Amino acid sequence: MARPGTPPTFLTAGWYISFMNYAATGEGLTSCLAVAGSAHAAEQRLKERLPEYFHRGILTKSICPNPDVDVSTMIEWIPAAAQRLFGQVPLFAGHYFTELHYNLS
């Protein structure tokens, strides 16, 4: 968390990210992610939008100032405006979801 008196940023506010990446020959690559104020809420937002088949591939992690490579890669898909907003609102104030699909064939 941020130092006392310092406004939180997206990376220090305590948000969680759930994501799923699926690649299949001839089908391309699909990446989905959700951000919410708790691990459970982030995972639920993602599960609500994905077929059950994809649920076993969901990873949920905290967003922190030094994220691991997987989280850092997924954070790049969150627009800067959304990241700024998440640094300003309480953890229970909302969530974010995006789905990206690339046909690589």
Q: What is the pLDDT of residues 43-70, one digit of tens each?
A: 999 999 999 999 999 999 999 999 999 9
| Residues 6 or more apart in contact with residue 54 via CB below 8 angstroms | 20, 22, 32
In a domain, 8, yes or no: no
As for how many domains the chain has, the answer is 1
Q: State the average pLDDT over residues 82-89.
A: 91
pLDDT band for position 94 (50/70/90)? confident
Containing structural domain, residue 97:
16-102
Q: What is the reported pLDDT for 55? A: 95
Q: What is the pLDDT of residues 6-19, one digit of tens each?
A: 667 889 999 999 99
In a domain, 11, yes or no: no
Instruction: Please state the pTM of the whole predicted model.
Output: 0.86
Q: What is the reported pLDDT for 76? A: 93
* CB neighbours of residue 49 within 10 Å: 13
In a domain, 9, yes or no: no
Instruction: For residues 28 and 99, give the distance between their C-alpha atoms in angstroms, rounded to a whole number.
Output: 13
Instruction: For residues 61 and 10, give the distance between their C-alpha atoms in angstroms, rounded to a whole number.
Output: 14
In a domain, 7, yes or no: no
CB of 32 closer than 8 Å to CB of 49: yes
